[in-house]
Structure 1
């Protein structure tokens, strides 16, 4: 009886050890530069405004 019980416990432990990795979820670790291949698309835009009755033109950097 002890042998059957011991064999059952070993079989159950072996089966659960084989199944556990296949049911594990995938973990994805993202870092700050995980998209290092994508480059920012920046361009310079000219902005014109009026301040105290004077026309002011300035260049502003705009990035996506």
Structure 2
């Protein structure tokens, strides 16, 4: 009887320890700087050779 009681207490403690992290709340930190951030984009020319032909592409690069 003691062994069954001890085993059930250990099982209950293990189950509650496993469930506790899944119920933890997610913390979101917000700052005021996100309103002032703007994307600075520019167009960059990329030159590459494909099958003995020069290929020029315009690529948009943003910060």
TM-score by length of 1: 0.48
**Which structure has greater helix proportion?**
2
